[in-house]
Chain A
Amino acid sequence: MVNVTINGKPISVQEGSTILQAANAAGIVVPTLCYAKELNEIGACRVCVVEVEGLDRLATACNTPVADGMVIHTDSPRARKARRANVQLILSQHDCLCPTCVRSGNCALQELSNDLNILEVPFKSEINKGHWDRTVPLIRNESKCIKCMRCIQTCDKIQSLGIWDLAGTGGRTTVDVSHNRVIKEADCTFCGQCITRCPVGALQERDDTQKVFAALENPDVITVVQVAPAVRSAWAEYAGVTHEFATPKRMAAALRRLGFDYVFDTNFTADLTIMEEGSEFVDRFTNRENYLWPMFTSCCPGWVRFLKSQYPELTPNLSTAKSPQQMFGALAKSFFAEKLGVDPHKIFCVSVMPCTAKKAECELPTMKDACGDPDVDVVITTREFTRMLRARSIFPGALPEEDFDSPLGTGTGAAVIFGATGGVMDAALRSAYYLVTGKNPPADAFKAVRGMKGWKEATFNVPGAGDVRVAVTSGLGNTRRLIEAMKRGEVEYDFVEVMACPGGCAGGGGQPITEGYELAEERNDVLWRLDRESKLRFSHENPDVQALYAQYLEKPLGHKSHHLLHTDHCAWTMPQKVK
């Protein structure tokens, strides 16, 4: 322990602590901006500067370790002046048209500037508009970027892809796609993790809400919406209601208020995915020699993009099952259109996803299996969904609980956990066990794959099939480590679940942003609770899925399934082009 004095208050802290940690421990707030705990402690913005007695210059609280006897003033006139001036310098190059900014009201710079009572900037305004291809799912607004470098660190340290880097030198240094590439040429997975860590409006998803509003307003169009499992863990965070209040049924009501003709649930096709992918796994497992091992899950489009650009030779290891989103789209424009007796071209299929990569997935040339149109027309993120609710003055706190529509609106507990890391594996094992043994295992038999650890592994014995070695990873940096270890022969698995975002879809790049907090774990808990509270916890017990097979698909891996629910991952290359 070392003893320091902060603002006259003597405190004792762990050796190696930073001034910021010491101040926080003493309940003293030091304003920060570029700082992101354990990710970006680089002292770039110079907002957290403090005065340390005996030093000729100010020190940054975020990355200066305390020393015994240090006397620190976090709020001295000198520190205050520098902090204020640095924020004004940042503002001089920031496009301060806040009312039209996607992050207005949820912006670290706005809040800081307000907190410091900055009402004018004495410097010349130098806004650089920059250039960006606004057709991709990931949008960068140069004029908003404050060069905090969090995006660079996120992609380097968490996702191991290095899409972002500093570009140029000197006063014109900025952040851009690394190696002088443009985003379309880069191997970006569009996971959106950089967006959720951006303190300002420099990074955002491509806003597709106007396309959805246009469809909702068009009387000739039948609007069908699906909503992904993880969305229900976060959709009402902005509204200040509890998770317990913000039930899936209230979310269904919200979607209905927006004017969707049919409010369905991706949980339905999550259960269907388990039927197809689980059967595929059992098939591969019992005909081992015909396949490459391990089998990878294929429901996360960020992961699929990662694999296809980083390890294209492993593409055949992916399950051929489409993601639940794409299965849903294919069924909406085939089975459901037939059921309604309408021309499938009239159906406008919208997905609400916790994910930005889903926007790229639905645009894949291989995802037009039902009627020739894209199976899913528009993907909006959870954030866009909440913006739509705000735009229509729909308040989650005032909504009643309503059911999803039938038949594509039912899901089991095994489906809802698709949004949590380990959930797909857990659900798949529950049904695979049943498929092999004809009996249900206890629903919590596969607990070992749950939890926030970035790389989990377990072996389960399935009577009649033998030991199944599984691994679950989330975050592409963890994924790369797993694959490298696999390639070196250090680990061997039969089935691997990969989610590009840390913590799985609950921590997805399309989820709401709360500056300074990673909420993936809390949202995971919501999903696991919903599973526990479900009456049905096995995908194969979903009655609507059973009916779908009976009426339409016949059987898992059957002819129709093959056409609608499976895909050829090798039919396109990264960056996204048809082969």
Chain B
Amino acid sequence: MSRLVIKAADGQRVADGLYGDLERRLASAPPGLCPVDLALSFVTVCQAQSCGKCVPCRVGLGQLANLLRDLLDGKASMCTLDLIEQTAATIYDSADCAIGYDAARMVLSNLKAYRTDYIEHAAKRRCLGSFQAPVPCRELCPADVDVPGYIALIAEGRYADAVRLIRKDNPFPVACGYICEHPCESKCRRNLLDDAVNIRGLKRYAVDNAGKVPVPACAPATGKTVAVIGGGPSGLTAAYFLALMGHKVTVFERRKKLGGMLRYGIPAYRFPRELLDRDIEAILSTGIEVRYECNVGTDVAFEDLVKEYDCVYISAGAHTGSKARIEGEDLKGVISAVELLKGIGDGEYPDFTGKTVAVIGGGNVAMDATRTSVRLGASKVYCVYRRRQVDMTALPEEVEGAIAEGAELLTLKAPVRIEGDAEGKAAALWVKPQLSGLLDESGRPSPVNADLPEERIPVDLVIVAVGQKIETAIFEKAGLPVTKGALAAMATGQIFANGKIFAGGDCATNPATAIRAVAGGKVAAANIDNYLGYHHEIGVDVEIPAARAESKPRRGRINTSERLAGERKQDFTCIEIGMTEEGALTEASRCLRCDHYGCGALKGGRINKW
């Protein structure tokens, strides 16, 4: 007998493949499923993983499964609930290894989070679960954009119709084609097979190839007036739909141009200005009046708007950079990312040639500041973050893009102070090395100070990108409620019940995504219309191609590509290269048409009008 043998490398290949499939399946599970049923399924999988040595895991998990099954089958009482809890606690306390005790932890946390569901099963023999996402992409789009609809149109080469269909819910098809964070893709049912459909990439292909698409005609004038404060994605969305409904809309824009964070936050290399102008031009073609460089609060009183207009929509955004709250933040050479990007939005590009820049933060804005600094000629750009790279909230492709363009990540370094030179200029950033710590409630590890000395990073400029705040002062003064730094609007966008003031977008949600802002504008437009005593419906006369009978073999997702890092980092031209026609048509064919197949057929895969 040999003393040792080499372990076979691929003995587990098929099983691992199935685990991978299961992982994708779980990750794209629709919301609303019965938590008790899921707990039972988890426990069964966990038990299958048991080595069988210890009692709590080998027997306990099986008995736990029986109890959960009784609960689901209406054969249990409140006593069963107690027994489930006690048994899970016993397994957690006494299982020998993580296979057992972590399974019990999952059951306990599930029971804690969904106790109402458990009680409903025990006491009323009913289930509170419901399948909430017949069409997951549309459901997860905050603005309810008809994703399967426009993908079907793209598959037929009807790009202008795709744009018209998108505009039914979202007047920023171009912006969203380029920079949407695409929550629609996260639960795409295609994940079960291979990978989500590249929805955002397909939308970009449609807007790139649609040509100029005119907007629909406005409804007859109602004579009602609406003031919109702030011409960002939320304000312009509300303005667009309200104008289509026949109301007279005036947008009060503080800056020289419209677009809000799409212009003054997102760098041009991600979203070229001339493309933003295409969306804005279409929106304004509905006859919206704009008062540029008109600051509500100084140039015109908020109270006057409330008096003079039939309705007011506040969509002022979140445009003040948060402070890092460290010593030396007031030194020259320390700027906020928001200020930097704001200036660039008006075409004021500072020169960072030869400078060393440290960007503080790990979110998307930090990446924008980092990659912008590279393009402004900085000789060295550090991105300083107190957690690990995987913990960054920025999209992974943004982080990787920054690295490829030569930026360096300094992770697990908590900024402690900025050292100034004799002239009061920033000279160095001091950081304290961190150790990845215990997981917090969201499952992200909290960093703790490592037992290592502080480090000095010599710099010329420090850019702070640790979040944005909302300027709420003038609204608070007018008696509007503010919670957690944001205007407290109801789910309808209304501030006070039956009141004429509505709010939405970042100023009501705290900094969020463009598509959330659009959704806020859409919701407000509908409810403002009702408030004004109307019921205009927004629809579109685009016929959606019926789902074709076709095979859907497993196939790789088609991604957009980027210009070479060495070339793209020299300029502010768009870095992304869209799909080819061949790529777009192939990718469009990957869509599983959940509007037609599965629960979509029953629940209606489409909202024709809103």
A residues contacting B by CB (< 8 A) are 16, 41-44, 52, 54-57, 59, 63-65, 67, 70, 131, 149, 152-153, 165-173, 176, 180, 488
Contact = CB atoms under 8 A, between A and B. Distances in A.
A169 B129 contact: yes
B498 interface: no
11 contacts: A41-B601, A44-B601, A59-B549, A67-B548, A149-B602, A152-B602, A168-B34, A169-B129, A170-B129, A171-B37, A173-B131
Interface in B10-37: 32-34, 37
Contact of A65 (B32, B127, B549, B601): B549
A384 B606 CA distance: 41
Nearest to B125: A131
Given A149-B602, A172-B34, A167 B549 contact: no
- State the main secondary structure of chain B at its contact with A: loop
Contact of B546 (A16, A42, A165): A16
B34 A63 contact: no
B387 interface: no
Pick the most buried of B34, B72, B127, B131: most chain A CB atoms within 10 A of its CB. Answer: B127
A44 B602 contact: yes
A197 to B, nearest CB: 15
Contacts of B602: 42, 44, 149, 152-153, 166
A536 B127 CA distance: 58
Contact of A167 (B33, B130, B601): B130
Contacts of A167: 126-127, 130
6 closest residue pairs by CB, A with B: A168-B127, A42-B601, A169-B129, A56-B551, A169-B33, A169-B34
A16 B548 CA distance: 10
Contacts of A55: 549-551
A26 B402 CA distance: 63
B72 A166 contact: no
Interface in B119-158: 120, 125-131
B551 A57 contact: yes
Given A43-B601, A153-B602, 14 more contacts: A16-B546, A44-B601, A52-B549, A63-B601, A65-B547, A67-B548, A67-B549, A70-B549, A152-B602, A166-B602, A169-B127, A169-B130, A170-B37, A172-B127
Contacts of A488: 535
Contact of B130 (A57, A67, A166): A166
B26 to A, nearest CB: 14
B596 interface: yes
Contacts of B549: 52, 55, 59, 64-65, 67, 70
Contacts of B443: none
Contacts of A54: 551
Pick the most buried of A42, A70, A153: most chain B CB atoms within 10 A of its CB. Answer: A42
Interface residues on B, range: 20 to 34
Contacts of B32: 169
A70 B128 CA distance: 44
Contact of A63 (B37, B130, B550, B596): B596
Interface in B338-381: none
A169 B551 contact: no
Nearest to B535: A488
B220 interface: no
Nearest to B548: A67
Nearest to B40: A170
Contacts of A44: 601-602
Nearest to A70: B549
A425 to B, nearest CB: 29
B566 interface: no
Contacts of B601: 41-44, 63
Contacts of B34: 168-170, 172
B553 interface: yes
A558 to B, nearest CB: 44
B486 to A, nearest CB: 31
Contacts of A171: 37
A57 B193 CA distance: 15
A149 B597 CA distance: 15
B72 A172 contact: yes
Pick the most buried of B72, B129, B547: most chain A CB atoms within 10 A of its CB. Answer: B129
Contacts of B131: 166, 169, 173
A104 B596 CA distance: 34
Contacts of B130: 165-169
Interface string B519-559: 00000000000000001000000000011111101000000
A130 B4 CA distance: 60
A57 B549 CA distance: 10
Interface string B582-610: 00000000000000110001100000000
Nearest to A15: B546
A145 B602 CA distance: 17
